[in-house]
Structures are given as structure tokens and as C-alpha cells.
Structure 1
């Protein structure tokens, strides 16, 4: 297929690469042009100077940018992809954004004779690089069926969960669960150290039992070693948790632990940990 990919951050860069490696005709756009040039040197593809140029004649346009405002700009702005997409082409948005903006863009797409899927991802940079992301999708079944085989280029699991906005709501569930898990893991690491245990040995055992999780398997040792200069940044997590907490105020859900962990992350930011990995919650305990 002829496709476009807008946004070559730590997730989008390898995702677009998987599309090129699968044989798709890929045109990329990135706000920092040097990153797009680097991508074109590494993969077989083309670089555009605007989102509109990238999307012209594409059957599927993928976006993976920072937040709601960034998304509106690259999609519905003067040089956005909606200004040039062909009739019945599909926009697949991988940004972690609000359900509100997903529904908004779905309406605009329909008015223009275009199709839309909101499809936030989970699995981190490693998941993107290895092509094993979990993808939560909102939209119409017929549209998903058209895009599914292309999305599978970088997915371990992809599932349609309901109408537009459902993917973003599911991503909020994902981040809510992660917040509680990371805080629990941080407290476990801190307790093991204070108790004089060999923390690494403890987690080598318990990660295979009922307490086991992706966070425990992948983050317990770096927590123990006080290493946080990698992974999903605290700033990004706070952005995602704000989206979830705002949605909870709208739908009446009670998220007391999520709200508490969000405040803990604000303390990590005050420690200078804006770009530390989310596992840095343990720093506020050890300090």
C-alpha cells in the first residue's frame, strides 16, 4: 500500500520502519526535518515537507504525535493531512490523546468522505522497535478490517473495542493500571532494601508468581540500580494521567490511587526527573 507516517518520535520512527520493511510505499513527515532525513537513509521511503504533502494519494495515513493540540495541527490544520487525503482514505491515529479529540476528528473525517481509527499503543520503545505493540482501536469494523493487515506490521495484539474514542479510553485504562503497578513495585523495592534483603534475588523469585508483571520483569533491576535515563518519561506519564483523570471527572469514575500516583510523579518532577523513566517513583522513597 501507499501510506504516510506523520511523527517520527521514539515510537513512530521504528513503527514507520516496520511498514517500509514490509514492502509498503512509505512517505514520512516529522517536524524536525533531520529526523525524517535520517529515517529515509535508514529505510526505503520518501520525505515530505508538510503533513499534507505526505498524505497526498496515501491509502492509509498514520499519525503519532505529542498531544491533542499537536494532533489537531497535523490533521486539521492548514497543512494538515485532511487537506489532501483522497476520498475514503483512512487516518489511523496512534497518538495517546483524549477520547474527545478522537471523536472530533472522526466527525470531521466523515464530513470529508474520509475514514478514521483512533489506535493508541502500549509496549514502549522496545515494543515499537521489535514490532510487538498492543494496539487499542476505536472506529468502524469495516474500516478496521481494511487497515488491520498493515497495522499488524508492528503489532503483537490489536483489537477493535468500539466506536471512535474507544481506543483512547482503553489506553486510559492501560495507564491507570500501570500507575498503580509501578507504585507498588517501587514500594516493594524500597521495602526489600530497608529490610536488608538481596532485592535482586527476591524479585528473581517473585516475578514468576502472582505478583509478576511486565513492570516487575523489566524494571525491578533498574530500580535497584538507580537507573532511570531511558524509557517512558515522567512528563509523558503525567500527560496521560491528566487525560485519564479529566475523563474520570466527566464519566464519574473514581480513581483515588491514580490521582495519588499522579501527585507522586509531580514530586519526581520537582526532583528534576521530568525525563526519567516512570519507574523513578522509587527515587522519592529512597530519598
Structure 2
């Protein structure tokens, strides 16, 4: 298919690459043009100077940018993709954003004869590079069926969870669960060290039992080794948790642990850890 991919960050860059490797005709746009040029040198595809140019004649346009404001700019701005997308084309948004903007874009898309899916992802940079992301999707079933063969290029699992906005709500559930898991793991690592245990040996054992999780398997050793210069940045997590807590205030959900962990991440930021991996929660325990 002829597709466009807007946003070549740590997630979008390899995701667009999987589309090209699968044989799709890919046009990319990135705010920093040199990144798009680099992508074109690595993969079979071409770059555009505006989102509108990238989206022209594309059957599916993918976006993966920073936040609600970035998304509005590349979609509804004067040079946004909605200004050039052909009738019947589909916008698939992989940004982690609010459910509100997903619903907003779905309405605008329908008014313009377009279709829309909100499709935030989970699995981190490694998941994007290896093509094994989990994708939570909101939108119409017929549109979901249309794009699934393409999304499969970089998905391990993808599920339609309801109307527009439901994908973003599901991603909030994902971040709520991660926040508590990482804090528990941080406290476990800290306790093991304070108790004089061989922390690596402890986690080699318990990761195979009831306490096991993706976070424990992939992050316990780097936490023990004080390594955080990789992965999902604290700044990004705080952005996601703000969206989640705002939504909770709207729907009445009680998220005491999530709110507390968000404040712990604020302390990590004050330590200079804005770009550290989210597993850096352990650093504040060691102060």
C-alpha cells in the first residue's frame, strides 16, 4: 500500500522501517529533516518537507509524535495531513495522547470523508525495533480490519477496544500498571541491597515466580548496576501520567498509587534524571 509515516522518533523510525521492509511504499516526514534523510538512506522510501506532502495520495497515514499539541499541528495545521488526505484514506495515530483529542480527530476525519483510529503502542524502543509492539486501538471495526494487515508489520498483538478514544484509555491502563510495577521493583532492589543479599541472584530466582514481570526480567539488572541511559524517559512517563491523572479526575477513578509514583518521578527529574529510563525510580531511594 501507499502509506505515510509522520514522526521518526525512537518508536516511529523503526516502525516506518518495518512498513518499508514489508514492501509498502512509504513516504516519511520528520520535524528534523536530517532524521528523515537518514531514514531514507537506510530504508526504501522517500521524505517530504511537510506532513501534507507526505500524506498526499496515501491510503493510510500513520502519526507518532510527542503530545496533543504536536498531534494537532501535524494533523489539523495549515500543512497538516488532513489538508491533503484523499477521500476514504485512514489516519492511524500511534501517539500516546489524550482520549479527548482522539475523539476530536475522529469527528473531523468523518466530516472530511476520512477515517481514524487511535492506536497507542506499548513495548518500548526494543519492541518497535523488533516489530513486537502491543497496540491498543479505538475506532470502527471496518477500519480496523482494513489496516490490520499493515499494522501487523510491527505488532505482536493488536486489539480493537471500542470507539475512538478507547485505545488511548487502554494505554492509560497500561501506564497505571507499569508505574506500580516499577516502584515495587525499585523497592525490591533497594531492599535486597540494604539486606546484604546478592541482588542479581535474588532476582534470577524470583523473576520465574509469582512476582515476575516484563519489568523485572528486563530491568532488574540495570537497576542493580545503576544504568539508566536508555529506554522510556522519565519526562515521557510524566507526560503520560499527567494525561492519565487528568482523565481519572474526569471519570472518578481513584489512582492513589499512580499519583504517588508520579510525584516520585518528579523527584527523579530534580535529580537530573529527565531523560533517564523509568526504572530510575530506584535512584531516589538511594539518596
Q: Normalising by structure 2, what TM-score?
A: 1.00
1:206 corresponds in structure 2 to 206
1:142 corresponds in structure 2 to 142
Deviation at 1:170, TM superposition (A): 0.2
Aligned with 1:197: secondary structure?
Answer: coil
Structure 2: how far apart are the matches of 1:102 and 1:73?
14
Superposition pairs for residues 109-124 of structure 1, below 5 Å?
109-124=109-124
2:89 corresponds in structure 1 to 89
Deviation at 1:286, TM superposition (A): 1.1
2:184 corresponds in structure 1 to 184
Structure 2: how far apart are the matches of 1:181 and 1:282?
12
Structure 1: how far apart are the matches of 2:275 and 2:163?
34
1:225 corresponds in structure 2 to 225
| Runs of 4+ displaced beyond 6 Å | none
Aligned with 2:153: secondary structure?
Answer: helix
1:23 corresponds in structure 2 to 23
Structure 2: how far apart are the matches of 1:209 and 1:103?
41
Superposition pairs for residues 1-287 of structure 1, below 5 Å?
1-287=1-287
- What does the per-residue CA deviation read over 1:60-88, in whole Å, with 9 as the maximum and x for residues that have no partner? 00000000000000000000000000001
Runs of at least 5 residues in structure 2 that lack an aligned partner in the other structure: none
Runs of at least 5 residues in structure 1 that lack an aligned partner in the other structure: none
Deviation at 1:285, TM superposition (A): 0.3
Deviation at 1:201, TM superposition (A): 0.1
- What does the per-residue CA deviation read over 1:80-118, in whole Å, with 9 as the maximum and x for residues that have no partner? 000000001000000000000000000000000000000
Considering only aligned residues, what root-mean-square deviation do their CA atoms show, in Å? 0.2
- What does the per-residue CA deviation read over 1:101-137, in whole Å, with 9 as the maximum and x for residues that have no partner? 0000000000000000000000000000000000000
Q: How many residues align?
A: 287
Aligned with 2:152: secondary structure?
Answer: helix
